[in-house]
Amino acid sequence: MKSPSDAINFIQCYETYYIPIYIVTREGLKNNSQRSVAEQLMTIAYENGVNLFDTAEVYSAGKAEIILGNIIKKKCWRRSSLVITTKLYWGGKAETERGLSRKHIIEGLKGSLQRLQLEYVDVVFANRPDSNTPMEEIVRAMTHVINHGMSMYWGTSRWSAMEIMEAYSVARQFNLIPPVCEQAEYHLFQRDKVEMQLPELYHKIGVGVVSWSPLACGIITGKYENGIPESSRASLKSYQWLKEKILSEDGRKQQAKLKELTHIAERLSCTLPQFAIAWCLRNEGVSSVLLGTSNPAQLTENLGAIQVLPKITAQVASDIDKILGNRPHSKKDYHH
């Protein structure tokens, strides 16, 4: 599965090779019109072959899961035609309502399923590592929820290759179920983990990558070329860190490189976002690409990345690497 996603005020979507997408809400849909946009986005996604929808217990303090569940129920889509995933770690305010203890994994997933109005999810992700919980306890708890029909598979998010390998080793040692994929940040300016550390896991134990932020929180859209637009994410108080990043010396260098990449995108008859998403999808270890969209036009544009994918040949990839100058040095060339 290859998908798009990265969210502003409300929704996130995935697009995958078979064109799955995931939709999520982070900061909450504050009114009915925004909720109708969520439904509109999911409908466009589903009708265009998207089948993967992802969320997390922490997004909008659980409201994202409620909205996603309500839309699925209202649309009467067959459950077997959907891939639904959620993430656990930050559940509630109490110490017992967060982390990856057996207690929170089981109770947290039960809560997610209630909000989603579903009997099971397809993948439950550990939303970050938990140094306070023994790895064996985490793997046993994930195996438990799978064996009890609450999830089909489990995966990790923001875990290191070493932590994923430890989980795999524990699973094999005790005849438990290992993780199947890792959610990792991956875009034109963030390559090391996905291209250097994770390929070994992909080839040795079959752990795939669900990558997120293919547009680097909007930096790769080109909207910040001449500063910070008023309506942009970087203009929000809660995204001060993004504003500082864009205006930094490194940020200005990135914008200069994006200008050069725009010429390649024009040559391929696509937009910069489509080009960037297709570039992510091209990596053989990437199963899905998560991206976020806040309106139908963005979603439709992002879905067009699938048509761009075949155009990114080895020569085009080489041209991209020359402009970026950040290709990790690896023993094996993972480009097709």
- DSSP assignment string, 233-291: GGGSGGGHHHHHHHHSHHHHHHHHHHHHHHHHHHHTTS-HHHHHHHHHHTSTTEEEEEE
Rounded CA-CA distance 237/244 in Å is 11
What are the distances in angstroms from CA 258 to CA 136, 210, 252, 324?
44, 24, 10, 9
Q: Is 59 a catalytic residue?
A: yes
Measured CA to CA, the distance from residue 79 to residue 86 in angstroms comes to 15
Helix (H, G, I), strand (E, B) or coil at 329: coil
Angle between helices 296-303 and 32-47 (to 10 degrees): 20
Catalytic-role residue among 14, 46, 59, 334: 59
Dist. CA 85–CA 153, nearest whole Å: 9
**Catalytic residue list:** 59
